[in-house]
Amino acid sequence: MAKIHQALLSVSNKEGLVEFAKGLHKLGVTLISTGGTARKLKEEGLPVIGISEVTNFPEMMDGRVKTLHPAVHGGILAVRDNEEHMNQIKAEGIKPIDLIVCNLYPFAETIAKEGVTLEEAIENIDIGGPTMIRSAAKNFNDVAVVVDPSDYTGILEELEANEVALSVYKKMELSYKAFHHTAQYDHLIQDYLAKQLKDAEGLPEVMLDRYEKIADLRYGENPHQKAAFYKEKDLTEPSITTAKQHHGKELSFNNINDTNGALELVKEFTDKPAVAVIKHANPCGMGVGDTLLEAYEKGYAGDPLSAYGSIVALNREVTEDVAKGIAGEGKFVEVVIAPGYTDEALEVLKARWKNVRILETGDLFINRENAGYDMKKVTGGMLVQDRDVVELDESELKVVTETKPTKEQMKDLLFAWKVVKHVKSNAIVMAKDEMVVGVGAGQMSRVDSMIIAGMKADGRQEGGVVASDAFFPFPDAIEEAAKKGIKAVIQPGGSIRDEKVIEACNKHGIAMVFTGRRHFKH
Ligand SMILES: NC(=O)c1ncn([C@@H]2O[C@H](COP(=O)(O)O)[C@@H](O)[C@H]2O)c1NC=O
């Protein structure tokens, strides 16, 4: 392993710098540095060669040109066992630089400042730093590059243990990290400029760079599929990616997907306690109540059979009584997710199941102003759209039937409308007293979803309401609803046969409300 003789330190974030430089100096490494970094090291009494002594050029134009010089890049990029390279740098009086310690102008922090000007942002685009980092990262066989102050201690320890050398494997690891760092940095700049341009409202040119891996998963949807979990970098609201796990087995691919569905559903309810019971990302039960226990009981009662092995999401802190409800005899859940838990509640859940995943999100909200994107993978491509977070404007509701919904029915219609948005299309939700009593999900025809919802409700829908995520193409589903004793329906409207659908409602004395907006979820 080749020894490190010369290091170039040029950092904006000076955290840990002095200790690291002192360690390098103690190991006999020569230190080269740029303006502010050199000043800081000199203040500590460290011997530092200024960059101008290396380049024979002054640092110019407010620091726009400091390290951008063949004396620096030749010293970094020369391949040490390439005789010609080494002769060439020698002839120019260039000495190899074996270690680059660099982090960049604080672009992210600058653009986050209130009232930042374009000029200020542009001045904070680092050019020399990324160039140097990339040179060193390319030549990782011979050069080490450190971009993260949290790596300083570990590197010093390795240098101390290995006669001031690092393994090629370690240098390759640092190279990977360095390219990641510069790629992120460029991305941020690209994004910022896109926002300044007139088409800032459009979707970004490149999507996947916005995501970083937070976990490798044991496997994907099936055991033969490899999988990992990625987090959106500029995430602005609590989500499955930010939830803290208190207890239980590692989350699986399917757990994450289903828990996301459960959490997003209860996030819709802010005014009152709400509990969703989810299987395969669809709600099998959902309830709203004056207390969280009441909401849980309604959520569970929706479909106790399907609730076995479900995911339970709650929108309020879980208390002991609710935990006892979830942990009741004969029950089994995969995941519980909530804004928080009392100590007693946690005890109850932990004691009941060794493996149940208990997740805490903190206070729940939907950031509708900056909700991010929703994506669907297709073979060879990806579809991207805004997340469906638009709220129902109650003033736009239109009662289109002779019969008007009662106050109680309207409450249930609005409840069911929020739920149906989270059910796979074609989606039908039957509800009564702010409790889901039947769900028809993912059917190829809407009337089949209605029939299935009615089957699941098993009589409990009598006098209740129905929500449909998209319009009824025919009156057939209304005929089915009428047979089941449904008294009010909420749906977007907009079918060419709306008149027929309204006629069917009028015939059966069903009240129907149009929202004017559909919520497909495919
Ligand atoms: N222009 C250059 O040649 C150049 N070389 C290094 N830098 C950056 O200057 C900063 C350190 O400056 P100082 O040591 O003066 O505090 C580092 O963030 C480094 O990435 C440069 N600045 C910007 O491009």
Ligand 1 centroid, distance to 157 Cα (angstroms): 27
Selection from 32, 76, 71, 70 nearest residue 51 by Cα = 32
Ligand 1 centroid, distance to 150 Cα (angstroms): 20
Residue 201 has pLDDT above 70, yes or no: no
What's residue 197's pLDDT?
A: 77
Ligand 1 atom nearest to 129, measured from its CA: 20
pLDDT band for 198, please (50, 70, 90 cuts).
Answer: low
> Which protein residue's CA is at the shortest distance from atom 22 of ligand 1?
128
User: Measured from the CB, is residue 36 less than 6 Å from ligand 1?
Assistant: yes
419, 286 contact by CB (below 8 A): yes
pLDDT band for 194, please (50, 70, 90 cuts).
Answer: confident
pLDDT (mean) for 75-95: 96
User: Measured from the CB, is residue 37 less than 6 Å from ligand 1?
Assistant: yes
Within 13 Å, how many C-alpha atoms sit on residue 134's CB side?
11
pLDDT band for 248, please (50, 70, 90 cuts).
Answer: very high
Per residue in 410-466, pLDDT (tens digit) is 999 999 999 999 999 999 999 999 999 999 999 999 999 999 999 999 999 999 999
Ligand 1 centroid, distance to 185 Cα (angstroms): 14
Residues in CB range of 187: below 8 A, 6 or more apart: 206, 209, 210
User: Measured from the CB, is residue 68 less than 6 Å from ligand 1?
Assistant: yes
Ligand 1 centroid, distance to 114 Cα (angstroms): 24
% of the chain beyond a pLDDT of 70: 99
Q: Which of 24-28, 188-192, 278-282, 307-311 has the lowest mean pLDDT?
A: 188-192
Q: Are strands 310-314 and 274-279 parallel, antiparallel or unpaired?
A: antiparallel
User: Measured from the CB, is residue 34 less than 6 Å from ligand 1?
Assistant: yes
Give the domains, in start order, of the chain with CATH numbers: 6-196 (3.40.50.1380), 211-360 (3.40.140.20), 394-514 (3.40.140.20)
Name the residue of 46, 65, 105 whose CB sits within 8 Å of the most ligand 1 atoms, as the mutation to test its pocket. 105
Ligand 1 atom nearest to 69, measured from its CA: 3
User: Measured from the CB, is residue 63 less than 6 Å from ligand 1?
Assistant: yes
Ligand 1 centroid, distance to 104 Cα (angstroms): 7
State the burial class of residue 222 (Cβ atoms within 10 Å of its Cβ: 0-12, 13-18, 19+): exposed
3-state SS class at 283: strand
Residue 338 has pLDDT above 70, yes or no: yes
What's residue 359's pLDDT?
A: 98
Ligand 1 atom nearest to 35, measured from its CA: 15
User: Measured from the CB, is residue 11 less than 6 Å from ligand 1?
Assistant: yes
Ligand 1 atom nearest to 102, measured from its CA: 20
pLDDT (mean) for 495-517: 98
Ligand 1 centroid, distance to 55 Cα (angstroms): 14
Ligand 1 atom nearest to 66, measured from its CA: 3
Residue 369 has pLDDT above 90, yes or no: no
Per residue in 134-178, pLDDT (tens digit) is 999 999 999 999 999 999 999 999 999 999 999 999 999 999 999
User: Measured from the CB, is residue 107 less than 6 Å from ligand 1?
Assistant: no
> Which protein residue's CA is at the shortest distance from atom 8 of ligand 1?
129
Ligand 1 centroid, distance to 190 Cα (angstroms): 20
Tell me how far apart the alpha carbons of residues 107 and 110 are, in angstroms, rounded to a whole number. 5
Residue 317 has pLDDT above 80, yes or no: yes
3-state SS class at 334: strand
User: Measured from the CB, is residue 106 less than 6 Å from ligand 1?
Assistant: no
State the burial class of residue 432 (Cβ atoms within 10 Å of its Cβ: 0-12, 13-18, 19+): buried
Residue 190 has pLDDT above 90, yes or no: no
pLDDT (mean) for 85-96: 95
CA angle 324, 330, 334 (to 5 degrees): 75
Residue 36 has pLDDT above 70, yes or no: yes
pLDDT (mean) for 393-413: 96
Q: What is the ipTM of this complex?
A: 0.94
Tell me how far apart the alpha carbons of residues 197 and 194 are, in angstroms, rounded to a whole number. 5
3-state SS class at 445: coil
User: Measured from the CB, is residue 66 less than 6 Å from ligand 1?
Assistant: yes
515, 417 contact by CB (below 8 A): yes
Per residue in 40-84, pLDDT (tens digit) is 999 999 999 999 999 999 888 988 999 999 999 999 999 999 999
Q: Which residue has the tokens 């009741």?
A: 328
> Which protein residue's CA is at the shortest distance from atom 16 of ligand 1?
36
User: Measured from the CB, is residue 50 less than 6 Å from ligand 1?
Assistant: no
Tell me how far apart the alpha carbons of residues 132 and 33 are, in angstroms, rounded to a whole number. 13
Ligand 1 atom nearest to 104, measured from its CA: 18
Residue 199 has pLDDT above 60, yes or no: no
Ligand 1 centroid, distance to 82 Cα (angstroms): 29
Q: Where in the sequence numbering do the catalytic residues fall? A: 138, 280
CA angle 280, 281, 282 (to 5 degrees): 95
Beta-bridge partners for 502: none
Residue 14 has pLDDT above 60, yes or no: yes
Tell me how far apart the alpha carbons of residues 69 and 84 are, in angstroms, rounded to a whole number. 20
